[in-house]
Amino acid sequence: MERESVFIGQSLAFLDSVERASRAAALNRPVLVIGERGTGKELVAERLHRLSPRWDGPLIVMNCAALPETLIEAELFGHEAGAFTGATRARAGRFEEADGGTLFLDELGTLSAAAQERLLRAVEYGEVTRIGASRPVNVDVRIVAATNENLPALVEQNRFRADLLDRLSFEVITLPPLRAREGDVPVLAEHFGRRMAAELGWERWPGFSKAAMETLTGYDWPGNVRELRNVIERAVYRWENEAHAIESIEFDPFASPWKPKGEAARSLTPATASAQPVPAVAANDELECADFKAACDEYEKKLLIAALKRCRFNQRVTAKALALTYDQLRHALRRHDLLQAGGS
């Protein structure tokens, strides 16, 4: 398999889904791959193809959500010249292109009712009819489909054909989200980090600091492996000292004190803006103290620690939350001996 298509992981949930895909690969049956965005559905589809007897045939990929409804049928089944406005010449569809191989239909749940009906006939009888043609064409295609939708729920809502779902669900492989893959975040972070360091020409791989790795493992990863890859590669790319372990992790690439507020925020009148509540600073009931400077220092330290925890020890996010510059926050952390706690 290609370098970009290697499976990385060691958790039981992940290995179980890979094993199920490997077993299903040898059978000439349709497979449904279910999973959240970024969980690797296309990688599983490629594995199903490469480990099948069709490995030397074509693997044709079609994203059903990337095309308008009026063009999906023409893309899937092809068309004859003059079949509709703009069809100046005949064109084979994805089914004919995948003849002898595998057709991977991503975002299956977005297919229109008409496309679902024609797809059902293609799956059931192994024949497709180009738009504008009078005779069907026989094709030998294995279908692998993927979605992040709950297809049985769509069937109950009459948004997906029950008979088509029955035809496509010989085997259903549900990929676990990254948050459920125990122990895989450090493995993936190391893999993507080393690869990015090599791409940048670093002489050695310094790894991640303990605090940075704790930040990575404590994050929920709504974008799963795709999001983790971006976060890791960005952290390596932005790190300027390859001799020291990477400490800075930033999950939101849009985080900036100069981030545009958008039309809704700009439309606020001065009176409306000034009416927004200002966060209040909690005060202690006991206002007496023997050392004013020591009390202020202690309170400032508590504020910093609380803010770091809320921001998962990400210094840049913490600085923004406290309305400080990054340098001001670093200075405050150094003054209170908190640089190690806020290193990520």
Pick 333 or 101 by higher pLDDT: 101
**CA 205 to CA 124: how far, in whole Å?**
53
Mean pLDDT rounded to a whole number for the chain: 86
Q: Strands 137-138 and 127-128: what pairing?
A: antiparallel
Q: How confident is the model at residue 5 (pLDDT cuts 50, 70, 90)?
A: low
pLDDT in tens, 32-78: 999 999 999 999 999 999 999 999 999 999 998 888 877 888 888 88
pLDDT for the residue 291:
80
C-beta separation of 17 from 130 below 8 A: no
Using DSSP, state whether 174 is helix, strand or coil.
strand
**CA 307 to CA 320: how far, in whole Å?**
10
pLDDT for the residue 277:
41
Pick 261 or 12 by higher pLDDT: 12
This model's pTM is above 0.75: no
C-beta separation of 99 from 144 below 8 A: no
pLDDT in tens, 149-193: 999 999 999 999 999 999 999 999 999 999 999 999 999 999 999
pLDDT for the residue 189:
97
pLDDT for the residue 310:
86
Pick 331 or 86 by higher pLDDT: 331
pLDDT in tens, 191-229: 999 999 999 999 999 999 999 999 999 999 999 999 999
Using DSSP, state whether 68 is helix, strand or coil.
coil
